Amino acid sequence: MTANCAEGREPLILRDQLILASASPRRLMLLRQIGLEPDHVLPAHVDETARPKELPAPFALRMAREKAEAIARDHPDTFVLAADTVVAVGRRILGKPEDAAQAAGFLRLLSGRRHRVLGGICVIAPGGRSAERLVTTAVSFKRLSAAEIAAYLKTDEWRDKAGGYGIQGHAAAFVPKINGSYANVVGLPLVETQNLLRGLGYWSEN
């Protein structure tokens, strides 16, 4: 399989097969953005409950690792890529809201302040070698009015989104500034993902 490359450069050769261990359409879209098409998309079913006193960064990495391991156990001869996105306000983890009321609470908490988006990535190669990375992006929200929150909830974009918002949609109007990877906020930091795959021998320029 060959990925597209910049004009005048040799094509990038993809070796073996790649499984994306995620049900997120955003992660698949981001991989395609850099010319990567997973051979299979297999969501990993793991318990995504934080442990008592578990901090956001270790939680994001643990989730990515457990998702990758869950798929790799049944596919030991394949590259497995898994990721997890955590929105954190201080030590507090904002997961995917269960309903509109909880999403509204998250948005009120994020309003007018800066928070962190932590992206955990794990790649497991054939034979069991693995590598992981944590990427942090600081996101600043403007102060939101009650009317803005109510209007956003009506879009349903908050569903299945960590922190109750998606920066790639209507919530882009809430974010005057980010410091770090935009792709990480969407769901998958691309530079770091590409580097992990290269380092384990999946993506080379031979």
Give me the active site residues, please. 84
Top-level class of domain 2-204:
alpha beta
Cα dist. 177→90, 137, 139, 181 in Å? 18, 11, 6, 12
pLDDT at residue 159, rounded to an integer: 95
Task: Check if the beta carbon of residue 12 is closer than 8 Å to that of residue 203.
Answer: yes
Give me the residue spans of the domains in the chain.
2-204
Rounded to two decimals, the pTM is: 0.88
pLDDT at residue 206, rounded to an integer: 42
pLDDT at residue 205, rounded to an integer: 52
Task: Check if the beta carbon of residue 69 is closer than 8 Å to that of residue 123.
Answer: no
List the chain pLDDT tens, one digit each, 206 residues.
434 444 444 445 556 799 999 989 999 999 999 999 999 999 999 999 999 999 999 999 999 999 999 999 999 999 999 999 999 999 999 999 999 999 999 999 999 999 999 999 999 999 999 999 999 999 999 999 999 999 999 999 999 999 999 999 999 999 999 999 999 999 999 999 999 999 999 964 54
- 40-41 and 92-94 as β-strands: parallel, antiparallel, unpaired? unpaired
- Backbone φ and ψ for 40, nearest 5 degrees, come out as -145, 150
Count of C-beta atoms within a 10 Å radius of residue 136: 18
Task: Check if the beta carbon of residue 18 is closer than 8 Å to that of residue 79.
Answer: yes
